[in-house]
Structure 1
Amino acid sequence: MNVGIVMLVHTAFDRAEQVARHWSKAGCPLVLHVDQNVHNKTYNGFVESLSDLPDVRFSKRHRCEWGTWGLVAATQDAAQIMLDEFPHVGHVFTASGSCMPLRPVQELQDYLAAHPKTDFIESVTTADVPWTMGGLDEERFTLRFPFSWRKNRFLFDKCVKLQRLVGYERKIPNGIVPHMGSQWWCLTRNTLTSILQDPDRPIYDAYFRRVWIPDESYFQTLVRLFSTRVESRSLTLSKFDYQGKPHIFYDDHLQLLRRSDCFVARKIWPYADRLYEAFLNAGDGNAQRREPNPGKIDRIFSKAVDRRVHGRSGLYMQSRFPVAGRENGLTCAPYSVFEGFSDLFEDFETWLAKQTGARVHGHLFAQEKAEFADGLPVISGALSDSAALRNYNPRAFLANLLWNTRGERQCFQLGPRDVIKEIEWDISKDINARISVIAGAWAVPLFKSSASFVEVRREAARLQQIESKHLEILKSQWTKAQVKIWNMAEFIEAPMEPLQGIIEEVAREGSGLAEVPKMVDLTGFGQFLQNLRNQGMHPYLMGNFPVIHDTAEPQKPKPKPYLVQ
């Protein structure tokens, strides 16, 4: 007994001829079908090129559009010729012109000889199929599909919608249970003969002719009626992306294909010279009884699909960037945002950088320019401190900054004086953001200002309104960032614990608070706030700040006494 190859060809005829000769050289008869869409001159030339092979036949040509009945009809006719003209064939193996044997053909023949009554065809019910695309599972068997999904998508969708609206439902003949699977199968002679010579075949053909993508369901369903043993798997390695399109194998997939242990793979790029040379010109060697195991490389394909669909956090491409929520995260790494700290502490950025080893910037979204650490005008990734360039797309500015400095913790200051409206929602919804806020600390520079009190009052009212709305965003149900908020009064009362928490969060390695930052002199700040109240403004964000307040420098906590025995 031998294996016969039914090959469906529509392009790359030079490669199809090369593969056909490889099959024939190994003693496999072939029946080839060439798509009717192929020009007659090309078809005749292809037939002539294989005319020297005695065990090659050509079947009646059908128009084979994706997802249409023509693919089934082409397979039926070719399979019937195979059964009629090659009585020694025990299994019939379907392949395309872009398929290529990965192992010596003798190994496939030996494998099928060891399983003479086994049909290798992927055949599962719709409830168990995870790969269906287009939202049609059971409906592909109960509705009619007179229009092409690819060429007449509008009419296809309208027809489906109309049938759903009127409640139309086709009757499945003879109570068969629809199954689905890959169109690349290997059936025994007995099973295939039973399917093709079944007295009810006209009924089944008429039914499946209007099923959507019948080449993935016709043989997969009918095999269950006649087969004595079904191995629900294909001997052909075929991988698909998240859109249901087949992966194409290139030269750099050589080792990957070898690891799969599969007998045949599709879809091979016609210009992959290295693959064709490696697999079609390899010697037979010693026959091995390895089971085909595409699971060895499934993990790699799963990662590739995940990378294509979701990408990497903080890295954008045109397929994800325009659609909100598809970018898989605004940024690529955790970062810290400090609001009010540089107003309350002198030289806060230098202190934090010294304590933690992080790169601490000033106000990246300041009105005048981006205040990069160490006063740099340009930072990693050629990011300029230009406010105009930054304001063109603040979101991309932040994402690029973190991507180009990944591996190094970034910290920056933010406040109501900054260009905050364009970025505050993005930061608040970013799971990588660690936001620490001293509410009302923006009033300290106003307290130190030499401007007239009328101007100070007006500016205080404006800044308080901006920060109040900003705090509402940080407290909203949509916020995913880690947010800590203190009002100024409560922070000054006990600053050591928040500062210690900041050090532990930002530092690469856990460390104690070795040095405290120097707080600005707040003598008279309480009276300043009272003056604002006297002028009709209510500075409520600072908390209950007394008129006379002890503003001594924060001290290190005294060690607790302990008993030495």
Structure 2
Amino acid sequence: MAKIAFILLCHKDPDAIINQATRLTAAGDCMSIHFDARSKPEHFQKIRDALKDNPNVTFARKRIKCGWGAWSLVQATLYAVEAAVEAFPRATHFYMVSGDCMAIKSAEYAHDFLDREDVDYIESFDYFGSDWIKTGMKEERLIYRHFFNERKYKKLFYASFNLQKRLGLARDIPHDIQVQIGSQWWCLRRRTIEWILEFTRKRKDVMRFFRTTWIPDETFFQTLVRHIIPANEIRTRTLTFLMFTDYGMPVTFYNDHYDLLLSQDFLFARKISPEAHVLKRRLGDLYAAEGAEFQISNEGRSLFKFLTGRGRTGHRFAPRFWEKESTLGRERELLIIVAKKWHIGKRFAERIKKVTNVPMIQYLFDESSCPMPDLGGIQNSIGKRTRHRRALMRMLFDYYDTDRLIICMDPNNMDLMRDFFSDRSQTKLIEVESHFSDEYLLGHAMRVGLAGENTPQETIDRLLPTIRSDVMSESDTIRDEGFEGYFRISENGSSEMNTRALARFLTIPEDRAREIAETDHLFAD
């Protein structure tokens, strides 16, 4: 059976560390602690005194001062790992945690999970081939030597870096290793840890290289594991659930996140707020629980992205000059069908095409699989279609040799609507208003990853009103925009009302508009 040795790097809140160590070791696991040498000596002494009689707790034999992005974080980890290997010969797995981490599953569940597969869990993506690094230095982290901490000695850090660039002092990466990158929150088997320690003793050249790289805690263990362990024994993921905001800051969890955390396919989570006392107590009790069952839905990240995105109007950056100066053409007419229920929007558009013979493209800015003619590659992805929307529309008008074109659009595409209505061409929009049942909204939430089959009912009950409000606010935003040439048909509207709106939208006689408005099962789900 799995026995976990937790590797804890920490620098504050001694009471929380004592509680964390007590909870995790009470279930039979063990812990090796490195407490930052920069921190107050009395805090470290308090931790030592509180845990000195706990046989499942040990401490790194050497404490060092740690700095963000520096080698010291890796060295502190290695000191704690060495102490754990020696103190806990029966530990089967070594799990890296911080003082802000807490278990979101029971020890029983965690042990069973680790026993299922004889593998290591660590993010390890190709350093140069992946897009793990979004901004800032990339190759420069490795090929130049970084002797100063960027946060503490910013001027010296960049002065040293720029001097090396000017003098051409770039160095080679050790020829036999392929640098990997990923999260520092890993869980490795004992054999892997022992091989890593042996590697550090034998390969002094690799150790010298990593000591002067920048942010090595994202590359050192990730590279070594991939170097010494077969790929089929590595799961490229972390077992610690963490999320980041749009600004690159870790998301903090509070008391009301308990149900969400338990439903994620992870064993731990970070960061738990220091003020979330109820959450800490409930998670602490959970780790020692027996027979606990967990319904995994794993919608946490998509749900967070959805909820934080609500209310943002999302104005686009200044238009590129070739878009600003381009036009679809004064003589052309773009007819936009806006429908949240795509199947109804498509059915409506098909019926209009059949009655009017106007060319139609369905949700081209929302659905990558939307059938499109070959336009030289601009049609290949939603990103390209959106970036070059006016050029795309001109090409579609030319392709169909028409001055009238119908497209379908989701109501969340306000930037696109504004852009098309600002063009010198004639643009009209008709909104298809449908009824949204709870069942439909739940299905929508599942389709877009906001919920799963095992999402707790309590979460669903809180989520559905939010989604309904979001759908309604999209419609309100369109109406508030005051577009000239805006029309609406409604599932609850009369045939006469819908017929008049269609006749004006399509500029056709009312008898032909009635054919469309009275289409059988037009609004059926």
Fold agreement, TM-score > 0.5: yes
Contact 1:242 1:305 in 2 (8 A): no
Q: Which segments of 5 or more consecutive residues in structure 1 lack a partner in the other structure?
A: 315-319, 327-428, 435-478, 486-501, 514-556, 561-565
Contact 1:431 1:481 in 2 (8 A): no
- Distance in 2 (CA, whole Å) between partners of 1:503 and 1:250 is 42
1:286 equivalent among 284, 291, 296: 291
Residues 256-297 of structure 1, C-alpha deviation per residue, up to 9 Å, x if partnerless?
A: 21221311011111110121122111352326598x87x522
Residues 413-469 of structure 1, C-alpha deviation per residue, up to 9 Å, x if partnerless?
A: xxxxxxxxxxxxxxxx986659xxxxxxxxxxxxxxxxxxxxxxxxxxxxxxxxxxx
Contact 2:37 2:63 in 1 (8 A): yes
Aligned to 2:273: 269
Aligned to 2:208: 206
Which residue type is aligned with residue 238 of structure 1? L
Which residue type is aligned with residue 244 of structure 2? F
2:101 equivalent among 99, 102, 106: 99
Which residue type is aligned with residue 422 of structure 2? A
- Helix, strand or coil: the match of 2:299? helix
What RMSD in Å do the two structures reach over aligned CA positions?
3.5
Aligned to 2:254: 250
- Distance in 1 (CA, whole Å) between partners of 2:73 and 2:170 is 24
Aligned to 2:520: none
TM-score normalised by length of structure 1: 0.55
Match status 1:66 vs 2:68: yes
Distance 1:147 1:559, change over 3 A: closer
- Distance in 1 (CA, whole Å) between partners of 2:79 and 2:486 is 70
Contact 1:13 1:97 in 2 (8 A): no
Match status 1:234 vs 2:238: yes
Aligned to 1:29: 30
- Helix, strand or coil: the match of 1:260? coil
Which residue type is aligned with residue 73 of structure 1? Q
Aligned to 1:5: 6
Match status 1:173 vs 2:177: no
Aligned to 1:298: 301
Match status 1:49 vs 2:50: yes
Aligned to 1:407: none
Contact 1:238 1:266 in 2 (8 A): yes
Which residue type is aligned with residue 93 of structure 1? Y
Distance 1:207 1:484, change over 3 A: closer
Q: Which segments of 5 or more consecutive residues in structure 2 lack a partner in the other structure?
A: 320-413, 427-481, 490-497, 502-507, 512-525
- Distance in 2 (CA, whole Å) between partners of 1:503 and 1:91 is 62
Which residue type is aligned with residue 97 of structure 1? G
- Helix, strand or coil: the match of 2:212? coil
- Distance in 1 (CA, whole Å) between partners of 2:54 and 2:189 is 24
Instruction: Give every structure 1 segment of 4 or more consecutive aligned residues whose post-TM-superposition deviation is greater than 4 Å.
Output: 287-290, 304-308, 429-434, 509-513, 557-560
Which residue type is aligned with residue 256 of structure 2? D
Residues 306-365 of structure 1, C-alpha deviation per residue, up to 9 Å, x if partnerless?
A: 569xx3247xxxxx9xxx759xxxxxxxxxxxxxxxxxxxxxxxxxxxxxxxxxxxxxxx
- Helix, strand or coil: the match of 1:173? coil
Residues 126-182 of structure 1, C-alpha deviation per residue, up to 9 Å, x if partnerless?
A: 234434244222321212222222223344344434434444322212420000111
Task: Give the alignment of 1:304-319 within 5 angstroms.
Answer: 311-313=312-314
Of residues 156-165 and 64-73 in structure 1, the stretch that sits farther from structure 2 once superposed is 156-165
- Distance in 2 (CA, whole Å) between partners of 1:183 and 1:558 is 66
Which residue type is aligned with residue 78 of structure 1? A
- Helix, strand or coil: the match of 1:37? coil
- Helix, strand or coil: the match of 2:123? coil
Residues 13-72 of structure 1, C-alpha deviation per residue, up to 9 Å, x if partnerless?
A: 222211111111011111111011111111101211222312111112111111111110
Shift of 1:119: 1.0
Shift of 1:184: 1.0
Task: Give the alignment of 1:431-446 within 5 angstroms.
Answer: none
Which residue type is aligned with residue 119 of structure 2? T
Shift of 1:482: 3.8
2:226 equivalent among 215, 224, 227: 224
Shift of 1:305: 6.2
Contact 1:104 1:284 in 2 (8 A): yes
- Distance in 1 (CA, whole Å) between partners of 2:35 and 2:487 is 67
Task: Give the alignment of 1:328-347 within 5 angstroms.
Answer: none
- Helix, strand or coil: the match of 2:251? coil
Shift of 1:209: 0.9
Contact 1:89 1:189 in 2 (8 A): yes
Distance 1:296 1:430, change over 3 A: closer
- Distance in 2 (CA, whole Å) between partners of 1:503 and 1:482 is 12
Distance 1:233 1:34, change over 3 A: same
TM-score normalised by length of structure 2: 0.59
Aligned to 1:376: none
Q: Among the aligned pairs, what percent are the same residue?
A: 31
Q: Which has the higher contact order (CA 8 A, sep 6+)?
A: 2
Contact 2:178 2:227 in 1 (8 A): no
Distance 1:241 1:164, change over 3 A: farther
- Distance in 2 (CA, whole Å) between partners of 1:200 and 1:307 is 53
Shift of 1:507: 4.2
- Distance in 2 (CA, whole Å) between partners of 1:558 and 1:240 is 54
Distance 1:148 1:504, change over 3 A: closer
- Distance in 1 (CA, whole Å) between partners of 2:245 and 2:181 is 18
Which residue type is aligned with residue 10 of structure 2? V
- Helix, strand or coil: the match of 1:53? coil
Distance 1:225 1:482, change over 3 A: closer
Match status 1:184 vs 2:185: yes
- Distance in 1 (CA, whole Å) between partners of 2:14 and 2:50 is 10
Of residues 272-281 and 197-206 in structure 1, the stretch that sits farther from structure 2 once superposed is 197-206
